[in-house]
A and B are shown apart, each in its own frame.
Chain A
Amino acid sequence: MSSTEHITATHVHRDDVGSRMGMWLFLFTELLLFGGMFILYSVYRFQYAEDFHLAAKELNTILGAFNTAVLLTSSLTMALSIIAIQRDQKTLSLFLQVITIVLALFFLVNKYFEWSAKFHHGIYPGSEELLSKSSGEILFFGLYYVMTGLHGIHVIVGMFLIAIMARMTRRGTITHDNYVRLENTGLYWHLVDIIWIFLFPLFYLIT
């Protein structure tokens, strides 16, 4: 064999439908990941209905509602950015992606204040204050921290992904006839949104 590269170089394969299909399958796995915790939530809620009722009152519904609005708006800007790139409006698309990131950041800052308020009141895993409460309340706050925490991690991952997409859009890798990556990122972002839409009523609204 000669030392030069062989001529039959790997063919460039592009299949947008396939990419989307892969993304949807991945979203299924994400749904099931959270699904496991939703099962836990429903079982414990059934077991400790009273305690869950009491504990939910401690959460700040206004902050939660505000965050829901922020996240929903970010989903809108994300969807609009895809439409913009389809119409070949690169600058507009870029602008909307950046807005999405800013809104996501807003969500996290809000979450930070919410969590620190809880910590301030001594409600955090393993704290004396929490351990003195009933089993159901301990479980409620355990699930609250784990589920919103895992959701928060997904928000951060989403922000990184959108940032990469913004970079690609700026460099012209994502264009009006090749935008499947942006679309997939959008799908991921909507998933993050949908999970929050379920978390919000389960923890804040049902009291």
Chain B
Amino acid sequence: MAVDAAAIKTNGHEPSYLEFKGKHTGILGWILSTDHKRIGVLYLISLSIFFLVGVTFGFLMRLELISPGRTIMDAQTYNSFFTLHGVIMIFLFVVPGIPAVFGNFVLPILIGAKDVAFPRINLMSWYMYVIGGLLAVVSILLPGGPADTGWTFYVPYSVRTNTNVMLALFAAFTLGFSSILTGLNFVTTVHRLRAPGMTWFKMPLSIWSLYSTAWVQVLATPIIGITLLLVAVERWLGIGVFDPALGGDPVLYQHLFWIYSHPAVYIMILPAMGVVSEIIPVFARRTIFGYKFIAFSSIAIALFGSLVWAHHMFTVGMSDTGQFVFSLLTMLVAIPSAIKVFNWVATLYKGSIDLSTPLLFVLAFIFLFTIGGLTGVMQGVLSIDMQIHDTSFIVAHFHYVMFGGTGFGFFAALHYWFPKMFGRMYNQKLSKIYFWLLFIGFNFLYFPMFIMGWLGMPRRYYDYLPEFQTYHLISTIGSWILVTGILLMVFNMYRSVKKGKVVTEKNIWGGETLEWQIDTPPIHENFYEIPVVQTDPYQYKLNEAKLEKEVVS
């Protein structure tokens, strides 16, 4: 960006972070490293493993639903599967997702820093993540059976069921801790470690969204921590807090749960929006349209998003005023989200578009997120919510946002930064093939759920009426296409890390942010000298000048 490319010294002799030898070598050099880039890669590996486990559960559930009645598993197994699918995907993939992997890798580089503010705490958060993940895995294997409460752990059922709910609770608690540590680290890093000249409004937009996310992580996660802890205490010691038999109020549990878990939705989506804002200018060769609007809309989403939790609970009994206020606030969140979408589209307009894989994923993001977002507004309408609450319409909606949005954003980021991270290029032709498989498979899988949900198919049901058969069949076939795409992608990435074409060029996509001006792959501590930033990100002066001429003539 910003900096004159010649101002950043490179001599090509320094070893990259992949080759760097510190105090420890071999595997220890990785799992004891406090280098933010190595921690990012560690997260990438562990996250991918859990993602594949989550995909497996989802795939098997879909297979079970291919026809009514029992197909491949019994009802109890099915209950455990949707719980595990939810817990793993939410707490181990989507929530840490982009911040932990790409945030860790590029945040310090993008602001011109050598590392995050607290490198050791950063490593600790990865350990917490792994411990949390292992606890979740152990809860599957131990006698008693995996938790069957759904990822929401609603009381009183979660207090009474005999499955391994305790372990699942502690897994979620530990993962929450990990998330808090990452957030705390990022907030401090952005405040303290920006390079000279990197003012707030010269920061790349992904930093704005990671920064807003980090605040939500810090402020919302403790609430889920204490709530899950209270459920654990209630199970363990029989202390009455939520259990109605002891005078407690289960609805209060739901409030506390969603006070975190709704903002968590924005923890999941905001970083993906940042990635989109980062990628679009590069592949359209244009200055981002409405920089400040995008930046502030991230803050606005974080703010409003923290005040809408009760829209998950319109049917549990609440005062009319409460329902009205939460419904209104829910619709307000749509405004900053729409601002972003309009700005992205406006940036693409008249750009010289390079349809590479990262941009394809980004375009898919915009398309799918718009569907997911607009159906979200529908659910914010009280009368419609009464009809579709707890139906597969909801399942379709949040998969469009979480998978179509965050998931595709994650894939976009992966395909965008992969060459920088590993100094190797993936097979681009193959990547376009599986992009289409993912996109088509995704829509086949989730779109029928909108229709059958509208017609009355409840979510989390093991069995269904014959009239829903066609939709379920289409959906299951979609899951096969999607999984094929995912496997091809994993194969491509795995192979490319080892055998991909070597990339030494610093700026493979023609980006103007700082990460494209340092070595590929980056050296230990990123910069030989901390750069001095002078101009805004995403200038693309040549292109913009040409455009202006066209408009004038």
| Chain A positions near chain B (C-beta within 8 angstroms) | 1, 3-6, 8-11, 13, 15, 17-18, 21-22, 25-26, 28-30, 32-37, 39-40, 43-44, 47-48, 125-126, 131, 134-136, 138-139, 142-143, 145-146
7 closest Cβ pairs, A-B complex: A135-B247, A126-B238, A36-B226, A32-B222, A18-B192, A33-B222, A125-B239
Bound Cα distance from A33 to B260, whole angstroms: 11
- Nearest CB on B from A53, distance (A): 15
User: Would you call B230 an interface residue if the criterion is a C-beta within 8 Å of the partner chain's C-beta atoms?
Assistant: yes
Q: Contact check, B223 vs A11: say whether CB atoms are below 8 A apart.
A: no
Q: Nearest Cβ distance between residue A51 and chain B, in whole angstroms?
A: 8
Which residues of A have CB within 8 Å of B248? 139, 142
A40 and B241 contacting across the interface, CB-CB below 8 Å: yes
Q: Which residues of the other chain, B, contact A3 by a CB distance below 8 angstroms?
A: 21, 25
- Closest chain A CB from B118 CB (angstroms): 6
Q: In the complex, which residue of chain A has the Cβ closest to the Cβ of B252?
A: A43
B225 touches A139 (CB 8 A): no
Contacting chain A: which of B81-89, B142-150, B183-191?
B183-191
Asked if A11 and B192 sit within 8 Å, CB to CB, the answer is no
Asked if A15 and B222 make an inter-chain contact with CB atoms under 8 angstroms apart, the answer reads no
Asked whether B227 is an interface residue with its Cβ less than 8 Å from the other chain, the reply is yes
A10 x B34 contact (CB < 8 A): yes
- 22 residue pairs bridging A and B, Cβ less than 8 Å apart: A1-B15, A1-B19, A5-B22, A6-B15, A6-B21, A8-B524, A9-B22, A10-B34, A15-B192, A18-B193, A22-B117, A25-B183, A25-B184, A33-B226, A36-B223, A36-B227, A36-B230, A40-B241, A44-B249, A47-B249, A125-B239, A146-B241
Cβ 8 A contact of A26, one of B20, B114, B184:
B184
CB within 8 A of B14: which of A8, A36, A139, A146?
Answer: A8
- A131 to chain B: which residues have CB within 8 Å? 246
Decide if B256 touches A39 in the complex (CB within 8 Å).
Answer: yes
B118 and chain A: residue at smallest CB distance: A22
Per-residue CB proximity of B99-131 to A under 8 Å, as 1/0? 000000000000000110111010000000000
CA–CA, A30 to B218, complex, Å? Answer: 10
Residues on A with beta carbons closer than 8 Å to the beta carbon of B230:
36-37, 40, 146
CA distance A176 to B464 in the complex (A): 72
Closest chain-B Cβ to A150's Cβ sits at a distance in Å of 8
Are B226 and A37 touching (Cβ within 8 A)?
yes
7 new A-B contacts, CB < 8 A, other than A6-B21, A17-B192, are: A15-B117, A32-B219, A32-B223, A33-B226, A125-B237, A142-B246, A142-B248
Report the separation of the CA atoms of residues A4 and B222 in the bound assembly, to the nearest whole angstrom: 44
> Which residues in B have some Cβ–Cβ distance to A below 8 Å?
14-15, 19-23, 25, 34-35, 114-115, 117-119, 121, 180, 183-185, 187-188, 191-193, 218-223, 225-227, 230, 233, 237-241, 246-249, 252, 256, 259, 523-525
Q: Are B525 and A8 in contact (CB under 8 A)?
A: yes
A142 pairs with B117, CB closer than 8 A? no
For A136, the chain B residues whose CB sits under 8 A away are: 247
Contact yes or no, A43 B23, CB < 8 A? no
Are B239 and A146 in touch, CB under 8 angstroms?
Answer: yes
With both chains docked as a complex, state the minimum distance between the C-beta of B307 and any C-beta of chain A, in angstroms. 15
Q: Which residues of A contact B233 (CB under 8 A)?
A: 146
**Contacting pair A28 B219 (CB below 8 A):** yes
Contact B524 A6 (CB under 8 A): yes
Query: A135 to chain B: which residues have CB within 8 Å?
Result: 240, 246-247
Tell me the bound Cα distance from A164 to B530 in angstroms. 35
Contact partner, B225, options A33, A125, A146, Cβ 8 Å: A33
Question: Are B21 and A1 in contact, with the CB atoms below 8 A?
Answer: yes
* Contact among A1, A22, A143 with B241 in the assembled complex (CB-CB below 8 Å): A143
Residues of B contacting A11 in the complex (Cβ-Cβ under 8 angstroms): 114, 525
Among the listed A4, A21, A126, A142, which residue makes an inter-chain contact with B21, where contact means beta carbons less than 8 Å apart?
A4
CB <8 Å contact, A138 and B240: yes
In the docked arrangement, what's the CA distance between A35 and B259, Å?
A: 12
Do A10 and B227 touch across chains, with their CB atoms under 8 A apart? no
Distance in angstroms from B200 CB to nearest chain A CB is 16
Q: Are B249 and A43 in contact (CB under 8 A)?
A: yes
A124 to chain B, nearest CB (A): 9
Q: Across the interface, which residues of A come within 8 angstroms of B259, CB to CB?
A: 36
* Given known A10-B22, A18-B192, A142-B239, contact A36–B114 (CB-CB < 8 A): no
Known: A21-B191, A22-B184. A36 touches B222 (CB 8 A): yes
Within the complex, which residue of B188, B247, B524 is in contact with A22, where a contact is CB–CB below 8 Å? B188
